[in-house]
Structure 1
Amino acid sequence: MEREMKLNGKETIEEKIMVKDKRRFNEEGELREEGRFVDDEKSENLDAGSGQVSTEKMAEVAESESAESKSELKQKSPEVIKLENELQQERARREAAEAKLLAVQARAEELIKRMEKETAEMRERIRRSLEDRAREAQFQFLKTLLPVLDNLKLAIEHAENSETLSTENFLAGVKGTARAFEQALSSLGVEPIESIGADFTPELHEAVDTVEVEPEREGKVILEYQRGYKFGDKLLRPAKVQVGRSRK
């Protein structure tokens, strides 16, 4: 604003005065009246106070709304609480099921290892048992052969020391030794195959040759060249025989 000032009553100097408080002047740049200025100042103060009050009020409302929102979040509905409980229960059941599954798997692995160990031990026991039984059978067989060997030695010694040993006596001794040997075989489950006079059976007999016979003796074993033996239901060896055939 420009204002005229007089210096020493002689001249007037126009001075630009920068007025910070524009409320003291009107729109034409004239100084307001004191009362008017005061009223305007009060009005502006009221406006400023009103703005401050409005801002504080808005802050209070916002804070209140935030508190209500938090309260609403805290105060969950029964449905939400129920769902959360069910979810927790389901999670607990799942964890329990997983733990049980792991325990079952561990138990199964332990049982498998134990069964494998027991199976290996059982196989080893069976193997040893079979070996023991085989050795026992061999032992018993050899034990039964010893008397036969003793009889043969006695027969040989008697023949060597006797000057008057007849063929008949020697034959009797050999027959006795053969009977002892057959008894030893029988004690082990070995039985001779009866062939002479029996029907020829391919499963038991091996035909070496044939001979002409009466019609009623056709297919019969006429002569035994070598005796056959069975061990239980198994054939140790077939009997070698001669089979009769009818005359043409």
Structure 2
Amino acid sequence: MWLNEEQLIDSRIVAYRESLLNSCPHHIVIDNLLDEDRLDDVIKVLQQPHDWQTQKHTYSALYVDDAQWENTTAEQRFVQRDVWQRATASSNNTSADIAQNLLSFLRGDEFMSLLSRIFNVTITDMNVEDPDINSNYFRLGATDFVELHADDSPGREICMLLYLNKEWHNNAGGQLTFIGENNQPMSIAPLYNRCVLFDPSSKGSEHWVEKLNAEYTDEYRYNVTSWYWSE
């Protein structure tokens, strides 16, 4: 059982829905959504140093290689971060199964049914060509960045971030920051077992991640990111 049932009673679902509709951008923050003992086991898997690969995006092209990256100006680079390598992790570490299981759960019927209830839209992978690439673990180090961008691809209804940072320092940086209403930025700290759900097509949903404080050069900011579509 991954979900914390206390967070799923009908009255809370109603409250999530009301909060979603009355916020700009349309978003909710749910703390302690998942079972922390199981998340602790996931974190142990993610701390394996050889299971990560750097991912780079520019505003003109996603998944660029080093040559393309070097030929792109700093202003055109918007993502540099590490992405978890499922195949590598599975071959190197038998305990990686629990990390894989969480990703599978996030694309399973139970979790997508919960999202459907909160957002009042039917979420499904029926028409998604490769669901697996739409849920994965990412980490940011002190030299990494996620600059201002939008996630509003056609048909994409929900973006989800789940943070896996134990004992995160208040001044470490790494906040998710939305443009917000009337360009008044709104930030959310990446606290452990905090789930952020937002409508990427809603006003003010463009966002970035605050860079990590150089004081914490030996630490990483971990999260799961998932994107979901309707029928």
TM-score normalised per structure 1: 0.20
Structure with a larger share of its residues in helix: 1
TM-score normalised per structure 2: 0.21
Q: Which has the higher contact order (CA 8 A, sep 6+)?
A: 2
State the structure with more CA Rg: 1
Structure with a larger share of its residues in strand: 2
